[in-house]
Amino acid sequence: MSLSEIGHGAEDRCTRCGACLAVCPVYNVLGHERFSPRARVQLVRVCQQPDHAFLSASRGFRDAFTACLQCGACDSVCNAGVDTSAIIRSVREEFLVQKEGWKGHLLDFLGTAEKSKLSETVFAMLARIPVESGLWQRFSSFGARKTGRIVPLPAPESFLAQKDRGKKNIANAKTVFFTGCIQNYLYPEIAEKVDALFSAELIIPVDQGCCGLPAWASGYRVRAQETVRRNLNIILANNPEAVMTACSSCAFMIKQWPELFEPGSEESKKARHVAGILKTFDQMALEHGCVGSSVALPLPADARVAYHISCHERFFLKDHKRRLEALKKITGRKISPVESCCGGGGFFSVSCSGLSRDVFARLRVEFAGKYDVILASCSGCLLQMRSLLHKSSLTSEETQAPLILHASEMLSARKL
Ligand code: SF4
Ligand code: SF4
């Protein structure tokens, strides 16, 4: 695809009004026009001119299109209908992805792992994560580029591996539980709690894979298609009435699945069907009568609780108000919203780790000293906030950091 096909006239529709600058987390941290959404759209225009085409191979071009969280804030305020986040994804796909694909990331990681003499146990844990998982991007970048991020190692046994060992057939189960990689490999305790709440209802296909979001957002469209095609076949083989996920980024991606395939194709129809029967954890919890009065809450009555609205919920799914009300009912708590971007953005948190921290610092100001618990429905936000707040050696400031929990964890007997 050429740059004029990628822009598709958007670069002419852009009136350069600047509305997108005010909401872009990256621009707000860096303050340079070249990292604004508007500048990226105009860069697509400039590079279409034959005497400026060479710029598309420049470091500045790569940096401008790498430093984007794919949060969608810019799209949401543009009166000219410019879909900047989609333009950035297409530029990544055509100009920035490594030719060797994720295999390159994997080889990077293995090389580094060998040098750092990781134990065989750790290797064995990592080996269980399929190459298709977006987690490889995190591990590979963590190791190879020394980002200094605390990326938790996989749990000794993934949630789906546990399920595979103790397979049970539930005759009346009609809802497929789609776990996503972070809950499956890093935080299986969250998936276990969700399973414990609705177990009579859930079908859990143990061979399900990554939702495809890390690949799609990074420009690896073919990889995302392969992953989604496989998931569709696995999910639909169970003939479910509903598909439930407890991760809002997986929910966002499942809603995008139809866009990965030719309109009208069989795959597009299957993807549309699955997107149409999708439900979220909070919806299912309400359906099952999980309300504050009927569950054991582990928190002090006066604990101050906030709900972090992820960018996917706020700008794409647009279901954050409903979620907030549902969470209040489920937990029986007063819950305040916090809205700033966490700076996670999937791969952004490792490819632009310093910038990611600076974006997070703004969110931290929003909740510092005000809350005891921050609830997150997005596994990526949960990972980002836990990684940056709860380090291995605690300082006095960090001990005061709020607990970062998934809503399902408030419904369990956890002691503060
Ligand atoms: S909000 Fe839209 S029209 Fe205004 S500068 Fe940004 S991309 Fe251009
Ligand atoms: S998607 Fe978010 S980070 Fe990327 S340009 Fe738009 S507002 Fe900025």
CB 279 within 8 A of CB 265: no
pLDDT, tens digit, 9 for 90 and up, residues 273-314: 999 999 999 999 988 887 765 455 557 778 899 999 999 999
Ligand 1, pocket-test mutation among 41, 68, 83, 87, most atoms within 8 A of CB: 41
**Which domains does the chain show, CATH number per domain?**
3-96 (1.10.1060.10), 101-144 (no CATH), 159-285 (3.40.50), 296-410 (3.40.50)
Ligand 1, pocket-test mutation among 75, 76, 84, most atoms within 8 A of CB: 84
- The contacts found for 316-322 with CB under 8 angstroms, 24 or more apart, are 316/72, 316/252, 316/255, 317/248, 317/251, 317/252, 317/255, 319/280, 322/282
Nearest CA to ligand 2 atom 4: 68
Cα–ligand 1 centroid distance for 38 (angstroms) = 6
Q: Ligand 2 within 6 A of 26 CB?
A: yes
* pLDDT of 95 strictly over 90: no
Nearest ligand, CA 77: 1
107: phi then psi, degrees, rounded to nearest 5? -65, -40
312: nearest Cα among 70, 40, 66: 70
Q: How far apart are CA 153 and CA 148, in angstroms?
A: 14
The residue type found at 269 is: K
CA of 36, closest atom in ligand 1: 6
From the CB of residue 79, how many other CB atoms can be counted at a distance below 10 Å?
A: 9
Nearest CA to ligand 2 atom 5: 37
Q: Which of these ranges, 117-121, 358-362, 372-376, has the smallest mean pLDDT?
A: 117-121
pLDDT at 142: 47
CB 258 within 8 A of CB 268: yes
Strands in 305-308's sheet, in edge-to-edge order, are 335-338, 305-308, 373-376, 403-405
Task: Tell me the sheet residues that pair with 175.
Answer: 202, 242
pLDDT, tens digit, 9 for 90 and up, residues 240-256: 999 999 999 999 999 99
Rounded mean pLDDT of 320-337? 92
Cα–ligand 1 centroid distance for 42 (angstroms) = 10
**What confidence tier does 123 reach under pLDDT thresholds 50, 70, 90?**
low
Q: Ligand 2 within 6 A of 73 CB?
A: yes
Q: Ligand 2 within 6 A of 71 CB?
A: yes
Q: How far is CA 187 from CA 151, 180, 242, 389, in A?
A: 12, 10, 23, 16
* pLDDT of 113 strictly over 70: no
Residue given tokens 């299957």 in the structure block: 270
Q: Ligand 2 within 6 A of 341 CB?
A: no
Nearest ligand, CA 341: 2
pLDDT at 390: 65
CA of 77, closest atom in ligand 1: 1
Nearest ligand, CA 345: 2
**What confidence tier does 4 reach under pLDDT thresholds 50, 70, 90?**
confident
Cα–ligand 1 centroid distance for 74 (angstroms) = 8
307: nearest Cα among 286, 291, 281, 326: 326
Whole-structure pTM value: 0.86
pLDDT at 298: 59
Cα–ligand 2 centroid distance for 323 (angstroms) = 23
pLDDT at 256: 97
Rounded mean pLDDT of 196-202? 86
Mean pLDDT of the chain: 83
CB 151 within 8 A of CB 391: no
Cα–ligand 2 centroid distance for 75 (angstroms) = 8
Q: Quickly count helices (H) and strands (E) in the chain.
A: 26, 8
200: nearest Cα among 180, 237, 174, 179: 174
Q: Percent helix, strand and coil across the chain, each rounded to 5?
A: 55, 5, 35
Nearest ligand, CA 64: 2
The CA-to-CA distance between both ends of the chain, in Å, stands at 53
CA of 81, closest atom in ligand 1: 2
What residues does ligand 1 touch, defined as CB less than 6 Å away?
14-20, 37-38, 41, 77-78, 80, 82, 84
CB 404 within 8 A of CB 291: no
- By CB atoms closer than 10 A (0-12, 13-18, 19+), residue 121 is exposed
264: phi then psi, degrees, rounded to nearest 5? 85, -10
pLDDT at 135: 65
